[in-house]
Amino acid sequence: MDRVERAAEVRYASAAELPDALRGADALFVWDFLSTAVPDAWHAADRLRWLHIASAGVDPVMFDELRAGDVVLTNSRGVFDTPIAEYVLGAILALAKDLFHTRDLQREKRWVHRETARVAGTSAVVVGTGPIGRAIARLLRAAGIRVSGAGRRYREHDSDFGVVYPSDSLSEHVGGVDYVIAVAPLTEQTSRMFDRHVFRAMRNDAWFINVGRGELAETSDLIEALDTGQLRGAVLDVFDTEPLPASSPLWTMPNVLVSPHMSGDVVGWRDALVEIFTDNFARWVDGKPLRNVVDKELGYVPSETPSG
């Protein structure tokens, strides 16, 4: 933040201190991307012109006053694309090669020879066709997995997905694949999009992988699908309540991998987030177009908008 501090008065604030810090401020950098403090402090934003959030998802700051106002919203698109894609491919490889069971057997000092599955030749649908979804698609295709996408509109001949199906008819397109991967932004249209209808449409030997937002899935329906064998299993990095409560049955289900919202957090990620903001700050001061401007009606950066 050195170059920002040399050019502007920078106020660092906790959630409780945010209203006082916002008064007279021209820009706001929301570092705690899960914080809900901004809507409560918005009454004090008397001259704010730009809000930047240190995440790809902007749902924590998508409240009515921000949508209706003139404050420009930008996000940190581009930081997490490759790390999350690597996490998804790593999880699929670990599942196919039975590595979790191998580790359990090792701890028990048991030599149990098994056959494992091939990844090449399997299929996946990636729900969410933004930069993270595209990075996932490219890595999965490199491993020999057949990939399609699901997004707002149907289209063919997509460079990364081949075919993109409309996500509002998701249950019609998940029945033929081995892996259903959720990475869509959280909006009014995508909230709880993975419900019992979608889970029942999936094959009972398919895996559900969520690296987007926990609220994309109806948790009770997911637990039911896992418990009754409608799904083979799930890899979950995000949850509708975080940290995941100790009372959640997801912790102890043998066919579930739980990770603590870390799929995109690789060494150096915090520095990368600050660099996105400081680069945008320099652009803002110079009157140049900002990177990663969010369409506040859509709730994400449109694909045709330059990301850098």
Hey, which residues are catalytic here?
213, 242, 261
* Contact between residue 221 and residue 234 where contact means Cβ atoms under 8 Å apart: no
What tokens does 244 get?
Answer: 């995941």
